[in-house]
């Protein structure tokens, strides 16, 4: 597998933090949060259902199944920057049947394991019926991880025989245009899970660092004229260089300065522990720190500010 080039930025003590432990980051495998523009509603998925939670007076409500989800295998919600619509991945049937979308890999069929992208539009306090995106986006049944720019350009991951790659489809006059592969570093490297800034000035994504095989690290790269600059590794505070944890599923906060992502990392345990620390660790294990996948966040300020200074 090819590797991406990697730059360096000193991130200091910019340690990732668990998101809403015991409420949103709970005993299940929760991941892929996407926020409304005001930051007070979040959609995310557990397993094959998209959930929604609302923040009131600083507290997140108990997550509920989103009104458009639950029937089919749904995940990877992405809200448009203006909040007017949402795109998500689903194995929802595309032929009018009751047969969930499947895939065929090396001649072997996997029922219900496929994914296409669907769109729902905001209608007051509700949502429209799901709209299946055209073949310009859904070129195969392994299409997922959408991210939406302010002009409607859709970034997403599609998998082909050469691996996973990020594509983008321009949105012009109400239609999605034929998708093109997004070149991020080494042309042969696998990339996925794009989080695009609304103005498309930078992108955070998963890829492979030099010398790594099968590990997805996070990189940030900035737009440089008509191409993307050298990908910058987000470093050991986010990326496990030893395989102690995994990380994937990049999403941006409403102000675009915080990265939300999914990881199976755990909170570090202090040794020796005091009785209070032992009780706290047990409470974490009972509520979220169980080795499953949960939502974490980290500030992108060190990389954004360094780029602004260089510019």
DSSP-H helix ranges across the chain:
275-287, 301-310
Q: What angle do CA 246, 248, 249 make, to 5 degrees?
A: 155
Backbone Cα Rg of the chain = 19
pLDDT of 208: 77
Q: What is the pLDDT of residues 209-257, one digit of tens each?
A: 665 666 689 999 999 988 999 999 999 889 987 778 999 999 999 999 9
Each residue's pLDDT tens digit, 37-92: 999 999 999 989 999 999 999 999 999 999 999 999 999 999 999 999 999 999 99
Residue pair 37/83 in contact (Cβ under 8 Å)? The answer is yes
**CATH number of the structural domain 17-310:** 2.120.10
Per-residue pLDDT band at 1 (split at 50, 70, 90): very low
**Which of 39-43, 174-178, 204-208, 259-263 shows the lowest mean pLDDT across its residues?**
204-208
Domain chopping of the chain, boundaries: 17-310
Does the pTM exceed 0.75?
yes
């Amino acid at each position: 597998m090819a590797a991406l080039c990697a730059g360096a930025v000193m991130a200091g003590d910019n340690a990732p933090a668990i998101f809403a432990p015991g409420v949103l980051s709970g005993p299940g495998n929760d991941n892929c949060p996407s926020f409304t523009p005001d930051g007070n509603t979040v959609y995310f998925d557990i397993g094959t259902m998209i959930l929604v939670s609302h923040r009131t007076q600083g507290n997140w409500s108990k997550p509920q199944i989103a009104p458009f989800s639950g029937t089919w295998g749904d995940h990877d919600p992405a809200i448009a920057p203006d909040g007017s619509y949402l795109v998500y991945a689903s194995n929802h049937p595309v032929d009018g049947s009751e047969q969930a979308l499947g895939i065929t890999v090396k001649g072997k069929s996997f029922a219900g394991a496929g994914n296409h992208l669907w769109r729902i539009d905001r209608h007051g306090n509700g949502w429209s019926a799901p709209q299946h995106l055209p073949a310009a986006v859904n070129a195969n049944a392994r299409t997922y991880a959408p991210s939406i720019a302010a002009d409607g350009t859709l970034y997403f991951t599609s998998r082909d025989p050469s691996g996973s790659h990020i594509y983008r489809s321009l949105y012009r006059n109400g239609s999605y245009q034929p998708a093109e592969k997004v070149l991020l570093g080494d042309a042969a490297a696998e990339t996925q899970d794009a989080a695009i800034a609304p103005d498309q000035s930078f992108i955070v994504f998963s890829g492979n660092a030099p010398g790594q095989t099968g590990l997805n690290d996070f990189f940030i790269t900035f737009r440089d004229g008509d191409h993307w600059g050298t990908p910058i590794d987000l470093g050991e505070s986010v990326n496990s260089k030893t395989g102690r944890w995994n990380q994937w599923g990049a999403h941006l906060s409403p102000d675009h300065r915080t990265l939300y992502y999914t990881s199976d990392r755990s909170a570090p345990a202090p040794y020796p522990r005091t009785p209070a620390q032992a009780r706290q660790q047990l409470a974490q294990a009972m509520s979220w720190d169980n080795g499953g996948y949960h939502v974490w966040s980290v500030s992108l300020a060190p990389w954004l500010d360094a780029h602004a200074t260089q510019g």
